[in-house]
Structure 1
């Protein structure tokens, strides 16, 4: 190959095309723990990082936001908001050293658009400040389909993230799905061409402000299992209109979500390591493809009317709705969400829910359907949740117990000795 020739993989990456080779490699990765590219933003949870995450999600629930408040609850201290694990977790997985394994995990679907499509969370115990969280992740499933959005081929990847404490007890699992879509397809399909960014009148915005004022948080008043009935509506939670500040604030608590994005020399290092992650802007400066979350020109170049939020934001918003309703004494056990559309800058999302099922005893979960609906009356997020509530008859919630296979996997996570846990505790406490 001459200096001007390019390989098929390089050409595909530049054109944002999905290759059969990448699909086969993605399927071969199923079940194999992989070392994360970048360390967690919050290596060990602290009161500050837990508070900052809640702030970034726009959730002022004092159980998550105020370090002093938790001491007055059954948790005896501040606990993290449900989706906080995305911002923490010391990775114990060793890096691959054999050439074949390194080749298997190198650079999948380079240059394509990667869109968050849904997540299923399951929670077993709370996260406290000063208590390390260990993590591993691996591919759970790979599906190939024609993309309704982009008009081209797409691949749905589902990744499992397992979070455990230093004894190996599972804290949570997060099964997160992404659609890899051929980048030019969205522009060619024209599916979004009739959507325009919302312009708000003073009267319309006053209704938004009123919705914020009307938010109801159960807090210290128990949401008793006996008082809940099928058909009950959850008090709604308002989010938006979405702005760049909202995106920045989410990153303040979350970090960069494992992408390793950073400023200046950190960007230089990432460009060397992942050149396909950068595309020149209109001035010739390579910038992250992720900028379509705040760069209007980049979004429009891809056929998207305006920048849009992260799926992780909407997952946090729905958890805000649910934790407001269940109160300090309830437990959010499971949340399964699908992202059905974009949440553009300028959009609101009104988070709502309805009780759909209730077990015969308080030891069984209460089921809820949940939605996040824009000012266009489009439910861009919908899903289900399961919660546990205290009972006047039987007392406090009993936290869920993971199945034996998950507990065994958790034991394997903590059995890998890397020294990271001790290093971070010494750094945190100065010992």
Structure 2
């Protein structure tokens, strides 16, 4: 068998190659232009509200400009994970053949699964203020996949979001597992799991949990009143349905996949044919459909369609912002995804205070989790929050380190002109 035939065979079977691993490691630290436009080129009040709506978060701070005007933020602000729906990328496209080759089509045919994310937030996002971004590989780790039974590669990408002056708004360090698809069937790890069937009595408990949700809102949660071991009021999410997936996409867009309907789909099929596989009727459809297509999920050895990791990250941030109130600040959230959240599953998001800084206004640490109706904790992690103090006053927003500020300045200094174009378009000039 020739090298080319071996490469084609690896793609068909979805195998991870040593050559792809080497290329992935060579990409570390190099910013890559994102081919697809952000869903929201310039954040506006509706976009900010639609994103929170898609996450099931009805906090008026994220929906109502008049409500926001009465808070310390002086206006409506975006919910924490909203940056995934915006960010103009002014990174130059690669022109040299070697660089193009380095970034061409890694791990084709493998399954790519969201493994976790670490968010850090430095300032809020407001309507009408542009957000710039860049993305680059931060780390590459090779391991045996517990899920698929084959070899896997964990890639961590850093998304850096900055304002037009280059000041960091947030970083999002997102980890994905590339797993050999053939392994999920062979491992049988998910055998025996069936989609949940709900009795009226069981579902009534879900409804009661929604009714019991508590939001701190305008009543400040003072640093002095928090105690280690304190439980956060839980929030309910689910049972997960196709409507929940659709609603998330309505607020988020397609998450950089470049997916679209009709002619847009035709154009993407030409550009990325490997992103499509025929359904049982012979129609090429996106591999991403395993989030809503039961037959596609079963073909991959998964008992039912499942959510996006970005959804659970938004859900946990909802838990945290409910608890800290309008005057607090969610500084950091680090989550690991430890299992699938299937259609029909609920997730009860919970948290408890694990540590508290030595003085007024210091960081409060919180352990967080999301648990389904099978008592499986599919999401676990930690968060750091800042709360107002009766002694020292309002929260002081965190300051990025010098390295991040320098990188942010480079992001803002790129002269692609897209920010000006968007501002002129919005203002009709």
TM range (shorter): over 0.9
The question of whether the paired residues in 2 share the 8 Å contact of 1:212 and 1:237 is answered with: yes
Measure the CA separation in 1 of the matches of 2:384 and 2:165.
26
SS in 1 for 2:113: strand
List alignment gaps of at least 5 residues for structure 1: none
Q: Give the secondary-structure state (helix, strand or coil) at the position aligned to 1:7.
A: helix
CA distance in 1, matches of 2:8, 2:27: 21
The CA deviation at 1:10 is 2.5
Displacement of 1:8 in angstroms is 2.8
CA contact (8 A) 2:223 2:361 kept: no
TM-score (norm 1): 0.98
- Greater Cα shift, 354-363 or 170-179: 354-363
Tell me the equivalent position of 1:60.
58
Deviation >6 Å, runs of 4+: none
Task: Check the 8 A contact 1:150/1:187 in 2, yes or no.
Answer: yes
What does residue 130 of structure 1 align with? 128
The match for 1:422 is 420
TM-score, with length taken from structure 2: 0.99
Query: Residues 136-285 of structure 1: matches in 2 within 5 Å?
Result: 136-285=134-283
Q: 1:388: which partner in 2? A: 386
Contiguous gaps of at least 5 residues in structure 2: none
1:367 alignment partner, one of 359, 365, 368 = 365
Q: Whole-Å Cα distance in 2 between the matches of residues 23 and 336 of structure 1?
A: 26
Between the aligned partners of 1:150 and 1:123, the Cα distance in structure 2 is 34
- Distance in 1, matches of 2:24 and 2:160, equals 19
Q: How far 1:296 moved relative to its partner? A: 0.2
Which whole-Å CA distance do the structure 2 matches of 1:362 and 1:17 have between them?
A: 53
Query: Cα distance, 1:364 vs. partner?
Result: 1.6
Q: Distance in 1 between matches of 2:397 and 2:337?
A: 28
Tell me the distance in 2 between the aligned counterparts of 1:420 and 1:111: 34
| Offset at residue 378 of structure 1 (A) | 0.4
Q: What aligned pairs does 1:57-136 form with structure 2 within 5 A after superposition?
A: 57-136=55-134
Partner residue, 1:8? 6
Contact 1:51 1:65 in 2 (8 A): yes
**Hey, what does 2:45 align to over in structure 1?**
47
Query: Within 1, Cα distance between the matches of 2:61 and 2:309?
Result: 23
CA distance in 1, matches of 2:365, 2:264: 45
* In structure 1, C-alpha distance between the alignment counterparts of 2:215 and 2:378, rounded to whole Å: 24
Instruction: Give 1:68 deviation, angstroms.
Output: 2.1
SS at match of 2:390: coil
The Cα shift of 1:7 comes to 3.5
CA distance in 2, matches of 1:13, 1:255: 28
- Superposed displacement of residue 430, structure 1: 1.1
Task: Map Cα deviations across residues 381-411 of structure 1 (whole Å, 9 max, x no partner).
Answer: 0000000000111110000000000000000
RMSD: 1.2
Other structure's SS at 1:261 match:
coil
Quote the residue 1:291 is aligned against.
289
Task: State the shift of 1:6 in Å.
Answer: 6.0
Residues 13 and 276 of structure 1 are in contact (CA less than 8 Å); yes or no, is this contact kept in structure 2? no
C-alpha distance in structure 2 between counterparts of 1:6 and 1:248, whole Å: 40
Q: Is the 8 A contact 1:155 1:181 kept in 2?
A: yes
Give secondary structure in 1 for the equivalent of 2:158. strand
Matched residue of 2:365: which SS?
A: strand
